[in-house]
């Protein structure tokens, strides 16, 4: 799992209130998903819109594009649409066989894939221009219970520490050949390998429970009162000067969406 790079440069988009960015991202993704299938022109406009923000924020598109691949396995779920859609069908010869492909199903499949990639790009734009903790505190502004925010925040803080532990353990396992597939290579059968992995999971959990005792003691020593952890930087209210940006940003999304309804409907 790659660490998300903390935002380094300071474009205008970086400096926007994280709550504004979060809300804009959600609005953007919702309207992409409300866009009908086969609205190719609108998809292109949404893409152009994203590219404009990405480049003006000084981010490299190629870095973001790589990470959109995360949705790749899921595209399998939509592939049956290609073959099972409505008529008209087109016959395509592949390796001497003739395969029936539904035109409508194919277009729907392509639409879902494009929408998914656009949504992920928008979400990536959010995380590459704001720190995760900023996003969590922005959630607090959206009336999400602060107990929950505190837990997420703590979990995120300890994630990398515990991930290092897991990596150490995995390395230890492979250095002792216990990941071998047979007894000869120092390993064991399938059951044995599964039980070893289970033992590792168990020991990570026990270590973490013991760690949480220490965390609790440390929190107490710093005056933890049994309530939620106070926000490190109090999440800021949306600044008045940011309203025009929000309105223009959302307005553009709406225009693209209406355009999509016009060209398809």
Partner 1 sequence: MSHLPFLSSKLMHIPDGFLSVLVSVIFWIISIMVIIKALRETNRLLSERQLPLMGVLAAAIFAGQMLNFTVIGGTSGHLLGAALATILLGPWSAIIVITSVVSIQALVFQDGGLIVLGANIFNMAIIGVLVSNSIFSLSKKLFGSKKWGIIVSGFLAAWGSIFIASLSCAIQLAISGTSPANIVIPAMAGIHALIGIGEGLITAGAIIFILAARKDLLEVNLTNSANSKGILIGGSIIAVVLAILSPLASSHPDGLEWVAEKSGFLGFANDAFYNIIPDYTFPGIDDPSLATIVAGILGVVIVFSVVVGLSQRKKQTTIN
| 161-200 residues near partner 1, rule: CB under 8 A | 161-163, 165-167, 169-170, 179, 181, 190-191, 193-200
The Cα-based distances of 220 to 37, 161, 216, 225 in angstroms read: 55, 21, 6, 7
The CB-of-227 to partner 1 minimum distance in angstroms stands at: 8
Tokens of 246: 């929000």
Q: Which of 10, 48, 60, 156 binds partner 1 (CB under 8 A)?
A: 156
Among 44, 168, 172, 206, binds partner 1 (CB under 8 A): 206
Interaction between residue 153 and partner 1 (CB under 8 A): yes
Contact 130, 6 (CB under 8 A): no
Nearer to partner 1, 73 or 244 (CB): 73
Q: Does 262 bind partner 1 (CB under 8 A)?
A: no
Asked if 84 is part of the footprint of partner 1 (rule: CB under 8 A), the reply reads yes
Listed residue (66, 40, 173, 202) closest to 124, CA to CA: 66
Q: Out of 124, 137, 235, 249, which residue is the one contacting partner 1 (CB under 8 A)? A: 124
CA-to-CA distance for 124 and 71, rounded, in angstroms? 13
**Binding-residue pattern over the window 15 to 54 for partner 1, x denoting contact by CB under 8 A:** ----------xx--xx-xxx-xx-----------------
First and final C-alpha spacing in the chain: 42
Question: Which residue's entry shows tokens 């969406």?
Answer: 257
For partner 1, give the closer residue by CB, 2 or 241. 2
3 state SS of 206: helix
Among 65, 78, 238, 252, binds partner 1 (CB under 8 A): 78
**Pick from 149, 122, 139, 131: nearest CA to 4:** 131
| CB 194 to partner 1: min, Å | 4
Structure tokens at 241: 């000067």
**Would you count residue 142 as binding partner 1 (CB under 8 A)?**
no
């Amino acid at each position: 799992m790659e660490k998300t790079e903390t935002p380094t440069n300071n474009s205008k988009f970086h400096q926007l209130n994280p709550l504004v960015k979060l809300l804009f991202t959600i609005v953007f993704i919702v309207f992409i998903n409300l866009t009908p299938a086969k609205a190719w022109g609108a998809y292109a406009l949404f893409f152009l819109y994203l590219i404009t923000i990405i480049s003006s924020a000084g981010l490299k598109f190629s870095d973001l594009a790589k990470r959109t691949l995360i949705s790749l396995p899921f595209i399998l779920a939509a592939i049956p649409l290609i073959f099972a859609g409505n008529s008209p069908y087109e016959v395509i010869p592949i390796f001497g066989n003739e395969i029936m492909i539904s035109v409508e199903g194919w277009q729907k499949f392509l639409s879902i894939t494009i929408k998914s990639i656009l949504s992920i790009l928008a979400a990536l734009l959010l995380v590459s221009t704001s720190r995760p903790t900023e996003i969590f505190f922005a959630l607090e502004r959206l009336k999400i219970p602060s107990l929950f925010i505190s837990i997420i925040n703590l979990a995120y803080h300890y994630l990398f520490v515990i991930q290092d532990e897991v990596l150490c353990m995995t390395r230890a396992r492979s250095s002792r050949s216990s990941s071998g597939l047979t007894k000869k290579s120092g390993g064991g059968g399938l059951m044995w390998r599964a039980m070893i992995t289970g033992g590792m999971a168990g020991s990570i959990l026990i270590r973490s429970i013991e760690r949480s005792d220490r965390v609790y003691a440390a929190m107490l020593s710093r005056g933890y009162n049994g309530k939620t952890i106070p926000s490190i930087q109090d999440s800021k209210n949306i600044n008045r000067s940011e309203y025009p940006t929000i309105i223009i940003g959302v307005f553009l999304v709406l225009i693209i969406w209406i355009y999509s309804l016009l060209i398809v409907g």
